[in-house]
Every structure is written in C-alpha cells, then in structure tokens.
Structure 1
Amino acid sequence: MSDNSSIQKDNSQIQDVELAVSRWLRVGVLISAAVIILGLILFFIQGSSGYPGDYYPHSLPEIFTGTIHMKPYAVITTGLILLILTPVLRVAISIWVFVREGDKLYVIITSIVLIILIVSFALGKA
C-alpha cells in the first residue's frame, strides 16, 4: 500500500512540475507577444522604425538601448528575442527538474541540448 501512495505522490509532483513549466511557457509567449504588439503600436504612431535610413541595430546592446528609448524596431526585436528564449528557459527548467528527481541520464542529455542551443546562438551571431 505504501508503494502505491509513493507512486501517486511522484505522479503528483511530476504533474505539478509540468504545470509550472507550461505556465512559464505561456507567460513567456504572452510577454513576448505584448512587447511585439507594443513595438507595432509605436511603429504605427511614429511612422518609422526609429532609426535613420536603412540602419537597424544588430547587437544586443544596440537593441536593448533602442528598446529603452522606445524605438519601434528595437522593441519588436526585443519581443522576438524573448520569444526565442522562452523554449530555452524550458530546457533550463527541465535540467533543474531532472536534478531534483535524481535522473542523471536526463540531466546529461538536457544539458547537452542546452549547450547546443547556446552554441548555436553564439555561432549565429558570428
């Protein structure tokens, strides 16, 4: 009987973690959508990207500085960056969950996936 209650407790904990992860994903998508919509509203109000001619920021510091100054293109780009980072956050949370569960194999596999994601971002910038 105690084995059955232990299994139910484990299943309950797994469901709680899955719900928490899904909430984080929803929050990330909603925040990024709100930032993108704000950028679009700014674009329609200002009538331009906020940058002269064909210039657009390409580095993170330029994008975040533009966002602070409410330049529409930078705000939209920040929203897209947040959208891209949302599933990366899910992978990082998964590592934490697997560490708590003591599942070493999945910690290793998920850590490799996270490293691949980070390396792809770094190489994509180059």
Structure 2
Amino acid sequence: MEKDMKMKLKKENEDLRKMELIISKALSIGVTTSAVVIFLGLLMLVITGNSGYPHGYYPTTPLSILRGFIALKPYAVILTGLLLLILTPVFRVAVSIITFFYEKDYTYTIITTLVFIILIISFLLGKVE
C-alpha cells in the first residue's frame, strides 16, 4: 500500500514538472518573440530615422497598430512587440487551461478558465472610452 502511494506521488510530481516546463516555455516564447519584434522595430527606426507616421501622430488602437505593423512602420513594429509582451501572461493562462485539462485537473481548469475570462473582459472594458 505504501509503495502504491509513493508511486502515485512520484507520478504527480512528474506531471507537475511537465506542466511547469510547458508553462515556462510558453512564457519564454512570448518574451523572446516580443523582444525580437521590439528590437527589429528599433533597428528600423534607427536606420530610417523616422517613425513612419507624421509628426505628432501615433497609433493608439490595436487595429491601427496592426495596420502599421503590416506596413512595416517602425513605431508600429515596436508597439506590436509591446502588445505581444502584454499578451504573454494571457497566453500563459490559456496554455495553463489546456495543460490542466490534459492532466484531468478539472477544478484548476475551471478556475483558470474563469481567470482567462476575467482577463479578456478587463481588456475589453479597458478599451471602452
């Protein structure tokens, strides 16, 4: 009986390590991607010497930032990198939902889903002017 309990604890510890590794990779990918995008935008800004926008105008909505990113405007590329950095924790929560569901930990799946919904609602409410 004690041996079964030790085996179960060992498996739970391995599952926890796997989950932590998946989450840390998600965070690492998000931060690295945003850093690369910001660096490229900064490099473009230094090389071209301008932001890609008329003096005094800066994109303020995600859609206008995305349009500027597609047009390769240096300032919009930098802002896209910052948006990616802001969205990295949200991505982490989404990965956690999938990981908890995969591990059949439904209590944490529900809790993490509620946190995700709250994050999305806060982004949407923060957008309202």
Q: Same fold (TM over 0.5)?
A: yes
Shift of 1:7: 1.8
> In 2, distance between residues paired with 1:87 and 1:58?
21
Alignment partner, residue 123 of structure 2: 121
Give 1:24's match in structure 2, choosing from 16, 23, 26: 26
Is 1:90 aligned with 2:92? yes
Shift of 1:52: 0.8
Structure 2 length normalisation: TM-score?
A: 0.89
Matches within 5 A, 1:101-120: 101-120=103-122
- Structure 2 unaligned regions, length at least 5: none
Matches within 5 A, 1:13-92: 13-92=15-94
Shift of 1:107: 2.2
Shift of 1:10: 1.9
> In 2, distance between residues paired with 1:49 and 1:92?
33
- Structure 1 unaligned regions, length at least 5: none
> In 1, distance between residues paired with 2:29 and 2:95?
14
Count of residue pairs the alignment pairs up: 126
> In 1, distance between residues paired with 2:106 and 2:6?
24
> In 1, distance between residues paired with 2:100 and 2:109?
6
Deviations 1:45-102 (A, max 9, x none): 1111100121112222221121122101100010001001111111111112222333
> In 1, distance between residues paired with 2:84 and 2:23?
16
Moved more, 54-63 or 79-88: 54-63
Alignment partner, residue 8 of structure 1: 10
> In 1, distance between residues paired with 2:25 and 2:97?
17
Moved more, 102-111 or 21-30: 102-111
Percent identity at matched positions? 52
Structure 1 length normalisation: TM-score?
A: 0.91
